[in-house]
Each structure stands twice: as C-alpha cells, then as structure tokens.
Structure 1
Amino acid sequence: MGKIRRSFTEQEIQVLESNPSVLRVSEKNITYSSAFKMDAVRANQAGATPIEIFSLAGFDMGLIGQETPKKCLQRWRKIHASLGETGLLEERRGKGSSGRPNSSERSAEERLRLAEARIKLLEAENELLKKLEALERQHPNDNRLPSSERFQLINQVVRKHGLRRLTRYLCKLAEVSTSGYYRWCTAEEKRQLREFADERDGVLIKAHYDALQGKVGALVIKMRLERLNGIIMNHKKIRRLMRKFRLSAVIRQANPYRKMAKATQEHRTCPNLLKRQFDCGEPEKVLLTDITYLRYGNGQWAYLSCVKDGATREILAHYLSSTLEVSLVKRTLQRLLDRLEGSVHPEAVIHSDQGFHYTHLQVRSMIAESGFKQSMSRKGNCWDNASMETFFGHMKDELEYKECTSLHELRVRVNEYITYYNTERYQWTLKKMTPDEYRSHLIAA
C-alpha cells in the first residue's frame, strides 16, 4: 500500500481501480494486489527501476506521484527479505511490516483495548452532538451556530477524551472545516490576551458603575474614565463589556413596547381639533374626557374616568375602578352611549389627552364606530383640557372621600357628588344655573 500526499478525486479513483494490479483505492491510499507486489520485487531484483515497473503495469506517474514506486519497492523488498513471499501475501500497513494481525490473531488484551477505544469514540461523539443540540436550542433564531462555538465544543471533547487523531472526524460531525479548527486553536493565545484585557477594563468600568449605584450608561462611564483616570476608551467597547459583565443601567431603560407600538402604529395620536374652544354653545357636541386618581382609606387608590359636556359643564358619564386597565375608559364610553341612546351629534368631538387609554386601538375604534371625531391635547400641555381638569379640582376640594374604607363606599360618595354637581351646584359662568338647567336653557333657545 503506497502512501499518497494528496487526495484522489472520484474520477481518479475510478481510473486507478480499473488497473488489474490494484485491489482498492481510497482518497489517500492505493492497495496493490499481492501478485503485482511479488512481480515488482522480482523485476526490481533483475535490474528494472521502480518507475519502469509501475509504468509497465499501466500506472500514471503524474497521478500516483514520482516517489510512490520507489517507496513501495523499498518496503516490499524489505518484507520479502525478512518474511519471504508469504510476508508479501499478508502484507498490511502498520507496525511489524507484515501488517496488523487479523482479528482472530489478536490477544484478549488487545481486543479489550480496541473495544475501550470504540466506547470512548462513541461517548465523545454522543457528547459533542448533545452539546451542539443544546447550543442550538439557546439560539432558536439563528440559522447556524457561530463556528467559534463549534470549535470550542470540539476542543473540549478532544481534551476530555484524548482523541487528537480523530479531530477530522469530529469536525465533520460538527460541520466545520478542519483547517478552520486548527486556525482557531493557534489563536488561543490571542483570545487569552483579549480576555485578560477585557477583565482588566471591566474592573475599571465596574468601579464607576458601582460609584454611581448602577445609574449610569456607557457614555457617562466613558467621560468619567477620561476625566478621572485619563483613559480614552471607545463607547462601543464599553457597551460590549457592560453586556459581557451584565452591567445594565437601572434607569432610563428603553421601553421595547413603546418602540413596538410606534412601529406598528398601535398607539397613534390625533390632532387638537378644539384648540381650547370648549364651549361651542350646543349641548353634546364637544365632549371632554380624562382620568383622575383618588387616594382613600389606608393608602388605597381608585381611578375615576369622566365625560363632560363642554357647553353645559354637565358630567354625562363616569366610571370608578380600582385598576387602570383599558376597560376603565371603555366602560365610561359605553355609559356615555347609553346616556345618549345612540343619538350622537353629527359633528360630535370627544377630546382627551395623549394618555395610553385614549391612544389604544380598542378605544380609538370604539370612538370612531360610535360616530365621534377624536381630538387630543398637545403633548405635556394640561391647558388643552383645562375644563376637565377644573371639574376634578372642584370635586377633590368639595368631596369628603379620603376617609372612605372601601371602594363601594367611595363609589357611593362619587355618585352622590356628581348628581349634586349636575343638578344642584350653581355656576356663575352658566348664568347662575346648574348644568342641567343650563342644558335645558340652550335647547329652548
């Protein structure tokens, strides 16, 4: 069997196997027939050169290599000199020149050693596949694991089981190139140096992070490093090291839901249609709505949602809840529709701030389907809904609600106050009438 320095292609293997002097061919090796070996030894003893012998046998020197005939003849003559023709008939590559023995000739100790080697290989193969599967589960969105992680797993398995001669097989199993794995191994020293540098810089970053109790980001740390330590460090590197050592700022975190809502336009705002013109002189044409917080009892909170008529100042609908869910506003709007009995002014406008509830898709859809135009205050401008804020201010001044011990008790008092506000509380700007009386006055006029 001659050792070849390069790999044969499938086409070249077929050409070599068609030669009657060849038994079989692999990517790297050629196994010659015993008859050809004996004839080659006799011809060489008679004075023929190795290249002449192989050429006469039909071998292409450019295909098998110029050195192959000489090396094969040297080995075959050595075997023939020590073991005779029987040695050439049984010749196999390996120690002892006469080749490795048949399985029947192996000792019990050698068979046990081979069995242990197979078990070790199976254990290594199983461990590598399990670790690769576990890593893939950790990266469900990635089409393929990074090669560096695969190289690291191969290296761990090779070191643990001592399978340095099976590196090529393990690389094939992990679907990476063997050359890439060896390049990764030679870069181990560089990775260690980088890891050492990361740990050193990470200590500096953590010192500033701890000094400000975690309320600091990469840019602030960069400025502090330059001013206090005289160290210039790229802010991208600082962010990388903060991620690596799990140092995240405890304030001003980006809200992923806000970004998602903006991208999907789930919470769109509306223009300010009123421009503070709350009183249009016509009942149920301009409606104002908002939510206020009521603290009662032993630190308990309740939330009151109201709808107010901009012309008559009358509270047309309200709902009190212990939570700030979207249902708070939806129930208020449903009470408003029940109050109007489906008779919505053709130019009706409902005005609010830009709060979460009023930009929510469900609330916006409910307002649009009911026949209202939606209007919103400018961002951060409470004056754009001042009439609604005025009602809440008067209610909190006049209503004794803080000593209530239950939500039911608070709800009863709020209902009583709103009834009083609509029917009994006279207002100077309403020609000294109550909201109910002023509404009747506008309708009659």
Structure 2
Amino acid sequence: MVNQDTIRLIDTFTSKIPLVRICQYLNISRSTYYYHKKHADHFNLNRIEQEIQQLCIKTKFLYGYRKIHALINKYLKCSVSKVQRIMAKYGWGCRIKRKRSHRPGNPFKQFDNIINRDWSVSVPKRKLTTDITYIPCGNKMLYLSTIMDSFNSEIIAHKISNHPNTQLALDTLNQLGYLNGAIIHSDQGSTYTSREFYELARKKGAIRSMSRKGTPADNAIIESFHANLKTEMIYTQAKPKGLADTIKCVNNYIKFWNNKRILTKLGNQSPVEYRKSVAQLNS
C-alpha cells in the first residue's frame, strides 16, 4: 500500500537513483507516485477525517453527511457542519439517484386519494403503499412489485417477475394476511385498477387509496425506495450477472434495507430496528 512514508522514502533517494528504478523496485507505477505527491493533503488525514473516510467506504458512499454524522457521533463527538465540510472537501458525498417514469394504464375502478401524502401512523400495517418498478437485467427487464409499510418504511412483501402484469401485483398482495381495514395506496396504473386487484384487496379487508393521475409525488415514499434500490444496489454488491444473480441481488438489497439501512426519519435506525424499539417501548 502506498502512503506518505513511501513517498518520502522515494524522495530521499531520487537524487542518487533514477525514479523509474525506485518505482520498479517498490513495484509501484510512476503515475501512482506523482498522484500521491500531488494530492498529499488527501492522504494526511487527521483522526476525524480518517473515521469519516472509513465510514463512507464501509457504507459504500450511500449516505450523506447527516447520516455519517449520526454514525460517527456515537463514539466521536463532532458537529454536523464539520462532517459536512470534510465530506465536501474530499468528495465523499452520496451517489446521485435516478428517477423513473410513470406508466399510465386503463382503469377498471379508481379510488380517491385518501392518503393525500399523509403517511404518518403510530402503529404498523395501517398505511401501506405498493408499486411496480423495472430492474435492468442484461438486455431485458425484470419487474419488482413491493408493498411498504409507511410506519417504518419496511418492505413487507415483494415479488419479481418477467412481466409487470396484474398477476405480479396479486402475488405480492397475497403474501399478506387479512388487512383489517388498513389503507393500501397505489398509482392509477391498469394493474391496480383491474377487477382482479380490486376483488383481492376487498377480500383482504383493505381500504383503497390512489395517487392523482400523473402525480408520482403522491406515492413518494415507495418511489424513493425504488430509486434507492436501483442506485445503491450497484454500490453495495457486485454487478449482477444473469437472471438468477439479479434476483439474488434484489433480495439481498431488500434484506439490507429492512435490517441495516438507517433512515433519518426513524432516528437513524433501520426499519426493523425502529419497529422493534417501538414495540419494546409499548410492551
């Protein structure tokens, strides 16, 4: 590993030995030497900078400065503005997220927007949201259907298919038991306005709510999850190879999201940690 001690050692001998021979002996390239010499400030990190760097690497640059501050502040006290400055200085910010387009459909039955962007709830499985998104797989697409509990943003059901059809949504909803008056929110795509989905949701005792047409912001929490999945899955795992590997990567990411991915709105806990902590407080 090249560090500033290595650079100083090379500089000591360059007056007597050609640089190319020193680099060959140390098995490093000259470009590596020049890069480390030019960017010396990047490699002379103080303790807090080293800790922030290691946290960013450990979390694969998925978090912004607020979440990194929440993690480092557990054992090393510092201000959030200081973490922000350090991460900006070294370019350690989170990755850019992509947005997906909305798919319109032909309705069988539509419902009012009961949720109306109010996802707050004090107990689990009272306000649910569902959607289907695409997952690139080589030269084709897979489709992921998810159901999220707005109580803690936990993915409580999901299914992957080759087709974004009604059966995919039905298979996902069938993973849940009787919903006993819970609200399930969706967009106005033909999948969710179909007779089949209407009948299944009715049998499960769900109250239906739908986003306004062409307004994905009405279902922002699950739109955001799907954007996170497609962006962060690239950085948390090796690039999927083939159908089986893509499915495995998606399943692994959902486990990561539910059990490890901290969310600011949950007090920097993962969805499962938050659910358990609330249950413990109420017991």
Kindly indicate whether residue 216 of structure 2 is the aligned counterpart of residue 382 of structure 1. yes
Amino acid of the structure 2 residue aligned with 1:267: F
Per the TM alignment, residue 402 of structure 1 is displaced from its structure 2 partner at its CA by 9.4
Q: Which blocks of at least 5 consecutive residues in structure 1 are unaligned? A: 1-256, 259-265
Tell me the SS of whatever aligns to 2:160: strand
Match of 1:311 in 2: 151
Name the CA distance, whole Å, in 2 between partners of 1:407 and 1:371: 35
Match of 2:270 in 1: 434
Match of 2:169 in 1: 329
Per the TM alignment, residue 335 of structure 1 is displaced from its structure 2 partner at its CA by 1.5
Name the CA distance, whole Å, in 2 between partners of 1:320 and 1:426: 24
Name the CA distance, whole Å, in 2 between partners of 1:392 and 1:415: 13
Per the TM alignment, residue 386 of structure 1 is displaced from its structure 2 partner at its CA by 0.4
Match of 2:126 in 1: 285
Give the one of 132, 139, 142 matched to 1:302. Answer: 142
Larger helix percent: 1
- Identity across matched positions, percent: 33
Contact 1:267–1:361 under 8 Å retained in 2 = yes
| Equivalent runs, 1:15-414 vs 2, <5 Å | 267-297=108-138, 299-337=139-177, 342=178, 344=179, 346-400=180-234, 403-414=239-250
Name the CA distance, whole Å, in 2 between partners of 1:327 and 1:393: 23
Tell me the SS of whatever aligns to 2:192: helix
Per the TM alignment, residue 406 of structure 1 is displaced from its structure 2 partner at its CA by 2.4
Amino acid of the structure 1 residue aligned with 2:261: R
Amino acid of the structure 1 residue aligned with 2:244: H
Amino acid of the structure 2 residue aligned with 1:409: D
Amino acid of the structure 2 residue aligned with 1:382: P
Amino acid of the structure 2 residue aligned with 1:433: Q
Contact 1:293–1:304 under 8 Å retained in 2 = yes
Tell me the SS of whatever aligns to 2:153: coil
Match of 1:40 in 2: none
**Cα deviation per residue 1:199-229 (whole Å; 9 max; x = unaligned)?**
xxxxxxxxxxxxxxxxxxxxxxxxxxxxxxx
Tell me the SS of whatever aligns to 1:425: coil
TM-score normalised by length of structure 2: 0.59
* The structure with more radius of gyration: 1
Name the CA distance, whole Å, in 2 between partners of 1:435 and 1:273: 24
TM-score normalised by length of structure 1: 0.38
Per the TM alignment, residue 323 of structure 1 is displaced from its structure 2 partner at its CA by 1.1
Name the CA distance, whole Å, in 2 between partners of 1:366 and 1:288: 15
**Cα deviation per residue 1:326-352 (whole Å; 9 max; x = unaligned)?**
111011011133xxxx4x3x3310000
Per the TM alignment, residue 407 of structure 1 is displaced from its structure 2 partner at its CA by 2.1
Match of 2:76 in 1: none
Per the TM alignment, residue 405 of structure 1 is displaced from its structure 2 partner at its CA by 3.5
Per the TM alignment, residue 284 of structure 1 is displaced from its structure 2 partner at its CA by 0.6
Name the CA distance, whole Å, in 1 between partners of 2:108 and 2:277: 39
**Cα deviation per residue 1:103-154 (whole Å; 9 max; x = unaligned)?**
xxxxxxxxxxxxxxxxxxxxxxxxxxxxxxxxxxxxxxxxxxxxxxxxxxxx
Contact 2:111–2:208 under 8 Å retained in 1 = yes
**Higher-RCO chain (CA-CA 8 Å, sequence separation at least 6):** 2
Name the CA distance, whole Å, in 1 between partners of 2:144 and 2:171: 11
Kindly indicate whether residue 255 of structure 2 is the aligned counterpart of residue 415 of structure 1. no
**Cα deviation per residue 1:148-194 (whole Å; 9 max; x = unaligned)?**
xxxxxxxxxxxxxxxxxxxxxxxxxxxxxxxxxxxxxxxxxxxxxxx
Tell me the SS of whatever aligns to 1:383: helix
Q: Which blocks of at least 5 consecutive residues in structure 2 are unaligned? A: 1-104
Match of 1:46 in 2: none
Per the TM alignment, residue 403 of structure 1 is displaced from its structure 2 partner at its CA by 4.3
Contact 1:296–1:403 under 8 Å retained in 2 = no
Tell me the SS of whatever aligns to 1:359: coil
Question: Over the residues paired in the alignment, what is the CA RMSD in angstroms?
Answer: 1.8
Seen in structure 2, the aligned counterparts of structure 1 residues 283 and 425 have a Cα distance that, compared at 3 Å, is same
